[in-house]
Amino acid sequence: MEIVAEYRDRMLVALVQEDRIDAASAIRFKDRMREIVQTSGGGADEPVVLDLSRVGFLDSSGLGAVVAVRKMLGPDRRLELASLTPNVLKVFRLTRMDSIFTLHEAVPAGICPAAPGDAAPGDAGMRDAG
Amino acid sequence: MQAEPPLHGPDPEARSPDSRAPDAAAPDIPGSDMPAPGPPALDMSAADLPCSDPVLIAIPADPDAVRAVLRALFGTRPLCALSDDIRGTAELVLAEALNNIVEHAYAGQQGEISIRLSLCSGDLVCRIEDSGLPMPQGAPPVTDLTLHGDDGDLREGGFGWHLIRTLSRDLEYRRCGGRNLLSFRLDAGQ
């Protein structure tokens, strides 16, 4: 599973380079995302943004894999989704997973790691972002 | 016992593996394996409906074969002519139905899935047949959309039948002669 990850504006942006996340690739997707998250460094509270702009097809196995990645990140690190194509967005809407995930029309310029007024401990010390 | 893996226990009516069609040919199924006289419930001969462009195809039960057949079906006529939205929905429902057979009916065992698609009166009529395990309750599961499991954790599975039921019409399932017969209609927008 070809996924390219880079740090940008204190986010880990992961661009899926393949056009399908389905039953045939769901495990490879999860494995590759785990590898990216474990090896990419960065802050444990910095969000991960999954850029799905090149994914034209996602089935329930692929949806389950995205949920699994969200769980893998744990409660302190958010997984947000960007640039969903119409067929992928349809799956999130029909399963109401659009109420669980934050969906962005495009990869955002930056995501605050914590809500306003909810100062995260150690937030002043930026770690190797960028 | 058959030479093939025992997929659903001894079945005196199960046909021998050799009698199954090896590929996309329309098998002339003898009546001997059907429990009652009359036409087979899922006649793959394409002559039973006044519909054009029947597509008959058989694939091995594995996720890569499902992906390949979906690519082939939706990348060529007649299905490539459908609008993007309708094609995406049809591909999703077929993927869910086929992957369900791979994961649960055959449960990792080898097997064959027969697919028959035809365009009828603005509908894509889909019939899918396999020789795997029957549906546990004798019918496709009725799904709810609880996003969290009993442990309060976000669910990772169980959405497939919800998608099929939401996006298809006239969903029918029968167990017949040791085979699962699933049929449904999808909007073809014509």
Pairwise CB contact (< 8 Å): A23 & B99: yes
Question: What local confidence, expressed as pLDDT, does residue A130 receive?
Answer: 35
Is the pLDDT score of B28 beyond 50? no
| Token duo for residue A57 | 């097809």
User: Any CB–CB contact under 8 A between B163 and chain A?
Assistant: yes
CB pairs under 8 A between A and B: 82
A29-68: string of b/e by CB count within 10 Å (b at 16+)?
A: bbebbeebbeeeebbebbbbbbbbeebbbbbbbbbbbbbb
Q: Which of A24, A57, A64 has its CB closest to that of B64?
A: A24
Average pLDDT of the segment spanning B87-104: 97
User: Any CB–CB contact under 8 A between B89 and chain A?
Assistant: yes
The ipTM (two decimal places) reads: 0.82
Q: Please give the distance of CA A130 from its chain centroid, rounded to a whole number.
A: 17
Specify the length of chain A in residues: 130
Q: What percent of chain B has pLDDT over 90?
A: 54
| Chain segment B58-87, per-residue pLDDT in tens | 999 999 999 999 999 998 888 888 999 999
Pairing assessment for the beta strands A79-82 and A103-104 based on DSSP bridges: parallel
Q: Which of B91, B156, B163 has its CB closest to that of A64?
A: B156
Using a CB-CB cut-off of 8 Å, the residues of chain B touching A61 are: 99, 157, 160
For residue A46, give the amino acid letter.
E
| Chain segment A119-128, per-residue pLDDT in tens | 444 333 333 4
Using a CB-CB cut-off of 8 Å, the residues of chain A touching B168 are: none
Number of neighbouring beta carbons within 10 Å of residue B173 = 15
Using a CB-CB cut-off of 8 Å, the residues of chain B touching A56 are: 88
pLDDT band at A8 (very low <50, low <70, confident <90, very high): confident
Using a CB-CB cut-off of 8 Å, the residues of chain A touching B145 are: 95-96
Number of neighbouring beta carbons within 10 Å of residue A1 = 18
Say how many Å lie between the first and final Cα of chain B, rounded: 48
Q: What percent of chain B has pLDDT over 70?
A: 71
Concatenate the DSSP letters of all residues of B129-170 into one string: EE-SPPPTTSSPPPP---SB-TTSPBP-S--HHHHHHHH-EE
Is residue B73 within 8 A of residue B111, CB to CB? The reply is no
Is the pLDDT score of B39 beyond 80? no
| Chain segment A63-116, per-residue pLDDT in tens | 999 999 999 999 889 999 999 999 999 999 999 999 999 999 999 887 665 554
User: Any CB–CB contact under 8 A between B166 and chain A?
Assistant: yes
Average pLDDT of the segment spanning B21-47: 43
Using a CB-CB cut-off of 8 Å, the residues of chain A touching B160 are: 59-61
How far is the C-alpha of A20 from the C-alpha of B75, rounded, in Å?
14
Mean pLDDT for all residues in chain B: 79
Pairwise CB contact (< 8 Å): B159 & A63: yes
User: Any CB–CB contact under 8 A between B64 and chain A?
Assistant: yes
Q: How far is A30 from chain B (nearest CA, A)?
A: 12
Pairwise CB contact (< 8 Å): B156 & A68: yes
User: For residue B84, what are the CA distances in angstroms to A45, A85, B88, B89, B102?
Assistant: 38, 11, 6, 9, 26
Using a CB-CB cut-off of 8 Å, the residues of chain B touching A20 are: 67
Question: What local confidence, expressed as pLDDT, does residue B52 receive?
Answer: 67
